[in-house]
Amino acid sequence: MILVLYGTTEARELISLLSAGGYPVLATALTAYGGTMAGMGGVVEVLPAPESVADLAGQMKQRGIAMVVDATHPFPGPLSEMARKACNNLQVPYVRYQREETTLPDDPLIHPVDSWNEAVHAAARLGDTIFLTTGSNNLELFVRSPVMKGKRLVVRVLPDHRIIKKCQDLGFLPRDIVALQGPFSTRFNRAIFQAYKADVIVTRDSGRTTDTKIKAALALKLPVVIIKRTPPAENNMVYTYEQVLRLVQRYLG
């Protein structure tokens, strides 16, 4: 039995590939929305979102999980950390699927940064209407920073009621919450950036989905602050579906 950690479009595609290969697949995600999407990929069961390492390890033991494939967002969150620890405790193979990093164009409008705090300061320096395409994590760093005084923050997030509530609790006005499910084309991104009169775009290096944001911003001559990834710590890091399947075959036959 394989457990897939859901968090990207690729996760659903991996579930389909593994199921087609004859492997029984379970999935889990931290949000109800992610769980619903995971359930559309052909899994045997969607497990409840784990609350701790012990909770996840217990679910894995109960269902006889023999391998974990982590296909969450390229910026690892709490689910990835819980899974790594649970797999280590249970001596279960852990494989991390990662999108390739974005190849950034050589353009003065591109501003790579190494941290969220750097992104906050760079964005504040570059414009007054700041369009955040970084998801719901770390929004408070932008909202609460003194350098954001007088700035307009627009955020694009998943259309999940809990995420929207988080944005509202942080003080975002309804007009500044763009609740949409991607992926988005370059043309669509360009239209959204224009509609909100963005001065600067903030994004993370999420791999292929980042390209359309960058292309749209550069077409509009908008600066882009891009938060780079931290170097991966995992040994079993893979970048293609074929590599995932080879590791599954190696461990499970």
pLDDT digits (tens, 9 = 90+) for 120-162: 999 999 999 999 999 888 999 999 999 999 999 999 998 989 8
pLDDT score for 245: 93
Asked if pLDDT for residue 220 goes beyond 80, the answer is yes
- Cα separation, 207 vs 226, whole angstroms: 11
133: DSSP letter: -
Give pLDDT, residue 137. Answer: 86
Question: Which tokens hold the place of 214?
Answer: 């960058």
pLDDT at 7 over 70: yes
DSSP string, 202-215: EEE--THHHHHHHH
Determine how many CB atoms are found less than 10 A away from the CB of residue 250.
10
Least confident segment among 41-50, 208-217, 228-237 = 228-237
What pLDDT shows up at residue 8?
Answer: 76
Predicted confidence band of residue 41 (pLDDT cuts 50, 70, 90): low
pTM score, whole prediction: 0.75
Query: Average pLDDT of 234-243?
Result: 83
Strands ordered across the beta sheet of 177-179? 110-113, 224-227, 200-204, 129-132, 152-157, 177-179
Domains (range + CATH), the chain: 2-98+232-252 (3.40.50.620), 110-227 (3.40.50.10470)
At 46, which helix (H) or strand (E)?
Answer: strand 45-46
26, 50 in Cβ contact below 8 A? Answer: no
Question: Per-residue pLDDT averaged across 2-8, rounded?
Answer: 89
Residue 42 confidence class, pLDDT cut points 50, 70, 90: confident
Over range 66-85, report the average pLDDT. 87
Measured CA to CA in angstroms, residue 24 lies from 44, 60, 164, 246 at distances of: 7, 14, 34, 16
Q: What angle do CA 112, 118, 122 make, to 5 degrees?
A: 70
